[in-house]
Structure 1
Amino acid sequence: MANRGLFASAVARLLPRTDALNRAGAAAYAYGPEAKLAQLVSTGTLADSFYAPAEQHLVEALAAARACDPMFVAKAAIYARRAGAMKDMPALLAAYLTIADPDLAVPVFGQVVDTGRMLRSYVQILRSGQVGRTSLGTRPKRLVTQWLERASMRDLMAAATGNDPSLADIVRMVHPKPADATRRAFYGWLIGKPYDLAALPVEIAAFEAWKRDTTLPLPPVPFQWLTAFPLCAEQWGELATRMGWQALRINLNTLARSGAFGVPGVTEAVAARLAVPAPGALPYQLLVALRSVGGGVPLAVQAALETALEASLASVPVVPGNVVVCPDVSGSMQSPVTGYRKGASTTVRCVDVAALVASAMLRTNGHARVLPFAVDVVNCTLDPHARLAVNAARLAAVGGGGTTVSAPLARLNREGAKVDLVVIVSDNESWVDATRHGATETMREWDRLKRRNPAARLVCVDIQPHGTTQAAGRPEILNVGGFSDAVFDTIARFAAGQTRDWVERINETEV
């Protein structure tokens, strides 16, 4: 056999050469600064991942931000918060802009810092010194003060749930001027200073009275304030009807342990609420709830979670033509999708999200073909009419071992398959098919497929922030990151020829 490297075809030599190594040490293509930042803000949570510690993700995120125009950084922060429902990265970029472009930091703060939790994250990041300052400074202090002044009492009470820093710490930092006696009394109560009992907000006054006599009706305060005290089953049952939708899905096992589902009407009320997902609820969050429920949670409630999961993906678009979805089921995909956090790692793994994307595409595109892969394509038969949770669990249960991103493309080429769209969902850490020179094996196989199917398009969905891809440099290839509903919309738009670059979606964002 002649030396393949010396006698490679002219077409193969035209393929883009690799310019980076991925985390697994294999050849890959580096994202440009904007594409890298886009991936980081859509998938990064500043936690340890399978291949890198949190500190490295932080360093890379700030380096990517510095390499981009501040306006793009601003748009990326807003896109990640609004379209991707991310938290850590938008807060980090909002804090970074206080140094990079203080004027631009003002509108970004208004669109990114939309909850008390985001406010606390923003203040924590600013004071950490990681973005170049160790104190708030004049303008950020004014922004935080304005947030406090404009927040409703309900927002302030929600913000007072959590620490490091607490809302009390923030109030001590910025010294907001109370607009009225009620706000003055609240601040005094919050930071442990003297306050006018008669001016205290009615919610706080009711809470203080309840603490003295827990037989009184439950006060209208965040449920976390109440669960610090012993509660009976009936009180837990009442909380189940009052806490927010997200809190409800997270606390199902707690409600079961407390006996709440034994209270007449609670099971039915909880099931009815859960069956209709809250605005902004992500499919993977429902998968978290489904995977986490214990035996004490009634079957009616579990069924409601499955109904909500189906509903959350109802907007997954139909893509015409021959669609192939390729979820990565290799060993590295067993890691938590949002990274390792001591005592708080999610139970949902990267492979679960990849399986969920594949199952959702199959549900709305019954003609689609699913080719899971690890070292090679893994045979797994799915029923397009089965429940999403069933297909996702079946996919997530297969695989393990090394990663060969090119494997499904090689299978399609061996078959001579007709293809219009290929969607690969992976962490992009391919190494089994590593090449020493020229293009990646994924690009070589894609080029072969493309020559047989001139109109074919390839979407690579990256679900962890590692900064490289196995396919790049061609107009029919889209690299997109994240695991929110925005990914499905981007895939559909790209398949229809409406966009050719993930970064374009971010640039459409208004600041």
Structure 2
Amino acid sequence: MSRDPLAAIAAAATPQSRPIPGREAEMVRNNAGGHTFAKDLWRTLEDFLVLGTAGGTYYVGEQTHTFQNVQVVNGAVAADGQRAVALAVEVSTGRPPRAPRNHPALFLLATAITNGDLETRRAARTALPQVARTTFHQANFFGYWKALHGKATGNGTAPKTGRVARGALGDLLTSQPPDRVAFQACKAAARKTPQGEPFSLRDVLRIAHPKAESPQRRALFGWIAGNVDDAEARQLLPSVDAFLTAKAVTSAAEAVGVVTGRGVPWEFLPDAVLTEPEVWDALIDTVGMTALIRNLARMTRIGTLTPMGEATRRAAARLTDRDALAAGRIHPLDVYLALRVYASGCSRPNPKAPAQSWTPVPQIKDALEEAFDLSFGHIEPSGKRLLIAVDSSGSMSYGSMTASGSPLGTAYQVACAMATILARIERANAHVIDVDTVVHASRITPRTNLREIDTWRPSGGGTDLSLPFSHALAQRLEVDGVLVLTDNETWAGRIHPSQALASYRSGINPAARCVVASLTAAGHSIADPRDEGVLQIAGFDATLPQVVTGFLR
């Protein structure tokens, strides 16, 4: 009797190369050729806001990956622009912040103000001062908005404006006290848009034409526009006085005096004195936490930070100050990036410029490792049993995840860093495995050092993300939850992950939960959207341990 081919069609065990029978409309073919559940518009948008698209993925180049996600942004703004804006604000302003970079949220606001309906544009205007908190953010928003709002002119491209767009830009100049805006205006001289154009608040003022409600604000706007002289502005705006005093210094000794006496940021100082070790020695105690982290390599290169040096001791003390990290809104990715870049001894943020090199100081590397842990805050163990599965397939080794031209590590290394943190929290209640087309023992333990992870490579091969659940069933592992850290590009299994999870629940623990942490904004997931016992999250999120343990509880 010949074999009936229809016998191979089953809803409980379907090869990942085919959609689950009866669920075809909910599934899509992923970039690796397997079938996964399509994320809805809002889940995909959230992934983009958290992860961005820099670097692309193993299967999709950066340009294509970016274009796909821009289409998602446009779709969300068209479907419910106010909801899209609210999500951008939530991702950008959460404490701790959920996104390592603010660029995606700023791009969404620029899109909302450009293409949204009237209520969406008004919502984006209200949100802009909350999201564009610094001149760096403002420069990025201005560049995105100008590009999206562009119109052809005889001399190139100029932004076209409407009342809401002008109001949004004007809010950047009126939503804070005049001297605070003056401080930002002085720092803005060192900023550029994402397109590489110089940015200043004079550009914003020229387009927005905001009204000045006080003599101090009138002096500010006049000084930015060049209609009020320095002497008058200095009398009414202390930040302008500090800026002009700092710009006038001609020696390192004078610069140190201004830094210690006036507390000016490094952006106020002339470039000529920023190569002097003693100037940065003074700045260590006054610059913001983000500026301190970003300039560690510079301070090492010019000789401010040296082994056993006093400046090194003070810098390490600030880096390991839990309260200062929280006040500076430092995301764990910021510290992890700083550690990897600093420890590498070289950086090339501009591919057209020569690479920069330095000899890392061990005490600073140690401080960054401690800061990485402290930036997650104090987390109590959940008391639940957790299986952590790290996708170790070939796609997880693609290139290097990057931020602003600096290496972050492969998706596999980032996933291992996440797994290490959770293993430290849960101790004996956590078990970590690697999976490709088979299960591998993980090298992660509660004592794993982040420096070890920097050298790790995945096992490679194909991807079968049903294995965490099939393995737990075969080994009779009684767990309360499974965390899968992956890019979702599964294809090789004889059964879908959602089906394997159902089998585990049937055979071991009916209440078992699952968290799928996506490391790329690919628009699809192994998680069944109908399953209330499955949580989907995105990115290297500082709240991940709390989210996982809270969901398990």
The structural deviation recorded for 1:47 is 5.6
Counterpart residue number, 1:429: 489
Counterpart residue number, 2:532: 475
Counterpart residue number, 1:267: 312
Indicate yes or no: 2:184 matched with 1:122: no
Counterpart residue number, 2:266: 223
Aligned-pair identity in percent equals: 22
Counterpart residue number, 2:288: 244
2:208 to 163, 171, 174: 174
Counterpart residue number, 1:75: 86
What pairs with 1:8-27 in structure 2 (closer than 5 Å)? 11-12=12-13, 16-17=23-24, 19-27=27-35
2:421 to 356, 360, 363: 360
User: Does the 8 Å contact 2:436/2:463 carry over to 1?
Assistant: yes
Distance of aligned partners of 1:272 and 1:287 in 2 relative to their CA distance in 1, 3 Å threshold: same
CA distance in structure 1 between the partners assigned to 2:131 and 2:372 by the alignment? 26
CA distance in structure 2 between the partners assigned to 1:27 and 1:130 by the alignment? 38
Counterpart residue number, 1:507: none
Indicate yes or no: 2:301 matched with 1:234: no
Provide the aligned length of Structure 1 versus Structure 2. 486
The structural deviation recorded for 1:423 is 0.3
The structural deviation recorded for 1:355 is 0.8
Instruction: Tell me how large the CA RMSD over aligned residues is.
Output: 3.1
In terms of fraction of residues, the more strand-rich structure is: 2
1:255 to 296, 299, 321: 299
The structural deviation recorded for 1:334 is 2.8
The structural deviation recorded for 1:250 is 2.1
The structural deviation recorded for 1:491 is 2.0
The structural deviation recorded for 1:337 is 6.9
Indicate yes or no: 2:199 matched with 1:156: no
User: Does the 8 Å contact 1:376/1:408 carry over to 2?
Assistant: no
User: Does the 8 Å contact 1:33/1:67 carry over to 2?
Assistant: no
User: Does the 8 Å contact 2:466/2:496 carry over to 1?
Assistant: yes
2:165 to 116, 128, 140: 140
Distance of aligned partners of 1:392 and 1:23 in 2 relative to their CA distance in 1, 3 Å threshold: same
Letter of the aligned partner of 1:400 in structure 2?
G
Counterpart residue number, 2:354: none
Distance of aligned partners of 1:107 and 1:46 in 2 relative to their CA distance in 1, 3 Å threshold: farther
CA distance in structure 1 between the partners assigned to 2:270 and 2:492 by the alignment? 50
The structural deviation recorded for 1:56 is 1.6
CA distance in structure 2 between the partners assigned to 1:109 and 1:336 by the alignment? 34
2:409 to 348, 363, 383: 348
User: Does the 8 Å contact 1:36/1:64 carry over to 2?
Assistant: no
User: Does the 8 Å contact 1:271/1:300 carry over to 2?
Assistant: yes
The structural deviation recorded for 1:179 is 6.0
Deviations 1:205-234 (A, max 9, x none): 212321x55542344443145372243221
| Greater CA drift, 360-369 or 60-69 | 60-69
Deviations 1:368-423 (A, max 9, x none): 00012233222233332344x156447x4342333222222222222232221000
The structural deviation recorded for 1:316 is 4.0
Counterpart residue number, 1:508: none
2:543 to 471, 482, 486: 486
Q: Normalising by the residue count of structure 1, what TM-score does the alignment of the two structures yield?
A: 0.85
| Greater CA drift, 240-249 or 152-161 | 152-161
**Which SS does the other structure have where 1:429 is aligned?**
coil
**Which SS does the other structure have where 1:65 is aligned?**
helix
Counterpart residue number, 1:500: none
The structural deviation recorded for 1:2 is 6.1
User: Does the 8 Å contact 2:74/2:111 carry over to 1?
Assistant: no
Counterpart residue number, 1:204: 243
Q: Normalising by the residue count of structure 2, what TM-score does the alignment of the two structures yield?
A: 0.79
Counterpart residue number, 1:504: none
1:379 to 432, 441, 444: 441
**Which SS does the other structure have where 1:75 is aligned?**
helix
Counterpart residue number, 2:348: none
Distance of aligned partners of 1:317 and 1:93 in 2 relative to their CA distance in 1, 3 Å threshold: farther
Distance of aligned partners of 1:225 and 1:429 in 2 relative to their CA distance in 1, 3 Å threshold: farther
The structural deviation recorded for 1:365 is 0.5
Structure 2 unmatched ranges of 5 or more: 14-19, 152-157, 235-239, 346-357
**Which SS does the other structure have where 2:271 is aligned?**
coil
Counterpart residue number, 2:155: none
Distance of aligned partners of 1:134 and 1:233 in 2 relative to their CA distance in 1, 3 Å threshold: closer
Structure 1 unmatched ranges of 5 or more: 497-511
Deviations 1:220-258 (A, max 9, x none): 443145372243221222223332212222222211111
CA distance in structure 2 between the partners assigned to 1:379 and 1:77 by the alignment? 39
Counterpart residue number, 1:455: 511
Distance of aligned partners of 1:7 and 1:348 in 2 relative to their CA distance in 1, 3 Å threshold: closer
| Greater CA drift, 458-467 or 151-160 | 151-160
